[in-house]
Amino acid sequence: MSVIKTRATNTRLIWQLEQSSLEAVDPSSLSKGLHPLMARLFSSRAVTRYEDLNPDLKYLLPPESLLGMARAAALLLDAIHQGKKMCIVADYDCDGASACALAIRGLRMLGAQHLSYLVPDRVVDGYGLNPEIARRVALTGAQVLITVDNGIASVEGVQTAKELGLQVLITDHHLPAQTLPSAHAIVNPNQPQCTFESKNLSGVGVMFYVLLGLRALMRETGYFDDARRRAQNLPPHTPRTQPKLDTLLPLVALGSVADVVVLDANNRRLVEQGLRRIRTLNMPIGIKCLFEVCGKDPQAATAQDLGYFIGPRINAAGRLADMTIGIECLLSETFEAAYPLASELNKINLERRSVEAAMLEGAWEVAEQKSLLQHNKNHAFCLFDESFHEGVVGIVASRIKDHYHMPTFVFAPSQTSTTGGTVRVLKGSGRSVAGFHLRDALDLISKQHPGLLVKFGGHAMAAGCTIEEGSLGEFETSLSEVARSWLGSAQGSLEVWTDGELERQYFNLETAQMLQSQVWGQGFPAPLFVGSCEILRQRIVGEKHLSLRVLIHNQECDAIWFNHTDSLARHVQLVYKLEIDTWSGSQKLKLHIEAFV
């Protein structure tokens, strides 16, 4: 691969094309039958074995290699056998909603009879299993509390749940704090001493693995053997045959892509298998209805469809409304039940866009003022305004980060509950840049400045935190200091990795179709090519996008550069994705411009 570096200044970008130091594996070592271009692309993404490209489920990492799996499976098997009431505590994003729906569907398939779920309110409760949520679960009469996509940092919440007589199973994928909760079982590939090779499982991916582990234990103990069933006098509600859990993979694909987890070989396999079932219409009716309200064809579904169309509509419910709408849509069994919910999610997403657009306009003003005042001396952005909505701070932080190429936090006013009542706080969501682990940065700040962070958590590229109202300045200074220390001269710069030039013989519709059929995403990016072009025509469309007609490889084709309005010189090198334009009803090549040299 090649790398293009940009240095952001107050007024311009300075471009420099360099050769990557990455030593690509010889493409021929992957497979003689692999298309030469694909072999080149895969080898530059550090794929060294053909098995890593094989989507067959037999290549999935084994469930038993997850620490805590045996205890989790035993706990769930006992709960099913005894007919205990189980309550799922979910996160309020798409990964959490997908994990909740998967847990309920899967546990029902495995014989669970008494299942309910609870989703914390983003504004009132905040993230995760806190003591109040534990008390609410106990009031439902539940005997077993299962977290999905949260819980690894819920030390107090787990302790309260146990004091109330609940058994607690934590399934999560977030990075743990120094102290783990004292749950009866924890399954998280990122907990200490866990040897599971893929640390990048989504929350829904972890829950899917727990179901695999539970089914394996049921198989070992004779639940699917008639003679052993009679000998053990197993309850009649338990399944007599092994349920096909692969029917849940569309939910795994949806949550994994929407949560932007790194698509390592194991995650790519899960996503690909989920997409295959979506394309054959073997998916929950709720997902099918979401495709319909988006105007997308599920039979041609891609990972991009899940990330840019389906996922945001479910996420919108957790940002502005009630995530139970999203979960109920994914749990619906009929079109009549699912379609109104999908339509409601679509409506909420339109509202989310409106709120985001208004908030982004204000955020740009705050960011520009900060940039002018600080003269690029700051190494991280922290933005706040009384009008900001905490449901969309993460989206806005991402946009600001993309423009200034610096770690960015956006805060909104909120409240948190204490023993003395409610207290006003600031809740922030952050987005990071390559080389800056945001959750680790927050952990360091919490150690250097005890008490500054009320709570925090997240991943390398996205994290959240709560601070007291008067602590914004101290937090911004602390974050900027860590960014200056860790990023050094790389602060404020953007690296765009490319796959070099696309060979002339591959510049065609067949190549675009081949690329579109692959699973691309975080950590396994869609190919970006560099090519010399002549700009034949260019104009602004939609007030903020540059539409072009270009000549490349002696072929004329259309191109689009979203959120870019500056005109280009007649002869340039464009950095682009090769895509398929179906707007006119026929398929033709189109370039999606990312940068220029």
Looking at residue 248, its amino acid is L
The domain spanning residue 252 has which CATH number?
A: 3.90.1640.30
pLDDT at 39 over 60: yes
3-class secondary structure, 436 = coil
* Shared-domain flag, residues 370 and 278: no
- Say if residue 71's pLDDT is above 50: yes
**According to the model, what pLDDT value does residue 13 have?**
32
Last residue of a domain, one of 491, 520, 541: 491
Categorize the per-residue pLDDT at 190 as very low, low, confident or very high, splitting at 50, 70 and 90. very high
Q: Are 148 and 103 in contact (CB under 8 A)?
A: yes
Cα atoms in the Cβ-side hemisphere of radius 13 Å centred on 89:
37
Answer yes or no: is 333 within a domain. yes
Say if residue 471 is in the same domain as residue 500.
no
Over residues 130-160, the pLDDT tens digits come to 999 999 999 999 999 999 999 999 999 999 9
What's the pLDDT band for 541 if we cut at 50, 70, 90?
very high
3-state secondary structure of 314: helix
Tell me the residue range of the domain where 447 lies.
Answer: 366-491
Which residues lie across from 595 on neighbouring strands?
575
Q: Indicate whether 51 belongs to any domain.
A: no
Mean of pLDDT values over 61-77: 98
Q: Are residues 456 and 582 in the same domain?
A: no
Residue 375 has pLDDT above 90, yes or no: no
Those residues whose C-beta lies under 8 Å from the C-beta of residue 458, and which sit 6 or more positions away, are: 174, 175, 430, 438, 439, 442, 464
At 431, which CATH number? 3.10.310.30
Give pLDDT, residue 384. 94
Predicted confidence (pLDDT) at residue 511 exceeds the cutoff of 90 = yes
Residue 49 belongs to some domain of the structure: no
Query: Rounded mean pLDDT of the chain?
Result: 90
Q: Backbone phi, then psi, for 46, in 5-degree steps? A: 65, 25
pLDDT band for position 10 (cuts 50, 70, 90)? very low
Residues forming beta bridges with residue 23, ordered by sequence position: none
CA distance 106 to 246: 10
What is the CB neighbour count within 10 angstroms for residue 79?
22
Q: Are 285 and 318 in contact (CB under 8 A)?
A: no
pLDDT in tens, 550-577: 999 999 999 999 988 999 999 999 999 9
- Please indicate, yes or no, whether residues 341 and 199 belong to a single structural domain of this protein: yes
Choosing from 346, 374, 399, the residue where a domain stops is: 346
**CB-based burial label for 52 (10 Å; 0-12, 13-18, 19+):** middle
Where is the domain boundary, 289, 314, 346?
Answer: 346
Q: What is the pLDDT of residue 125?
A: 83
Helix (H) or strand (E) holding 46: none
Same domain, 445 and 299: no
Gap between the Cα atoms of 96 and 273, Å rounded: 20
235 shares a domain with 88: yes
Give CA–CA dist 169/146, Å, rounded: 5
What average pLDDT does this structure show over 249-265? 96
- Asked if residue 482 and residue 507 are part of one domain, the reply reads no
Q: Does 34 map to a domain?
A: no
Q: Do 159 and 274 share a structural domain?
A: yes
Q: What DSSP letter does each residue of 457-504 carry, written as one string?
A: EE-SSEEEEEEEGGGHHHHHHHHHHHHHHHHGGGTTEEEEEE--PPPG
Residue 478 and residue 510 share a domain: no
Q: Based on the structure, what is the number of domains in the chain?
A: 3
Q: Is the domain of 425 the same as that of 552?
A: no
Supply φ then ψ for residue 547, to 5 degrees.
-100, 135
Higher-pLDDT residue of 507, 419: 507
Q: Are 481 and 544 contained in the same domain?
A: no
Query: Looking at residue 92, what DSSP letter applies?
Result: S
